[in-house]
């Protein structure tokens, strides 16, 4: 009985690798990265105008966290890359290599980041 209780307790306490890793598909990441927030500003006359766009916070965080993990195992001269740049590297890699939507986003990102000049 103790063994069963211990097994159930450990089973509930141990994280599921898929959930912990935060693995999502390329499609899921692409959908999040397609969400943009319009940033409003004022023109010279004080009128409200569209100043630009920001990418989704989840997307930006996922890209930055993935790049941070990547730079722990790969030497990069510049470890400060903008989310916009990282997204463009990811998009270009997917386009060039025709990576499927069902592939794991983190794996695709690591391969794409190897193309960044100064990362080897």
Contact of 104 with 30, CB cutoff 8 Å: no
Domains of the chain, residue spans: 18-113
Residue closest to 23 by CA, chosen among 101, 109, 103, 105:
105
Contact of 90 with 81, CB cutoff 8 Å: no
The model's pLDDT over 76-89, given as tens digits with 9 standing for 90+, comes to 999 899 999 999 99
The model's pLDDT over 86-120, given as tens digits with 9 standing for 90+, comes to 999 999 999 999 999 999 999 999 999 999 999 98
pTM: 0.76
């Amino acid at each position: 009985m103790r063994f069963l209780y211990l097994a159930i307790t450990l089973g509930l306490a141990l994280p599921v690798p898929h959930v912990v890793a935060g693995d999502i598909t390329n499609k899921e990441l692409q959908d999040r990265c397609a969400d943009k927030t319009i940033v409003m500003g004022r023109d010279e006359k004080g009128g409200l105008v569209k100043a630009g766009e920001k990418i989704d916070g989840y997307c930006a965080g996922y890209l930055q966290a993935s790049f941070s993990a990547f730079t722990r195992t790969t030497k990069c001269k510049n470890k400060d890359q903008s989310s916009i740049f990282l997204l463009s590297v990811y998009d270009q890699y997917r386009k060039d290599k025709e990576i499927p939507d069902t592939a794991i986003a983190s794996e695709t990102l690591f391969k794409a980041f190897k193309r960044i000049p100064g990362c080897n």
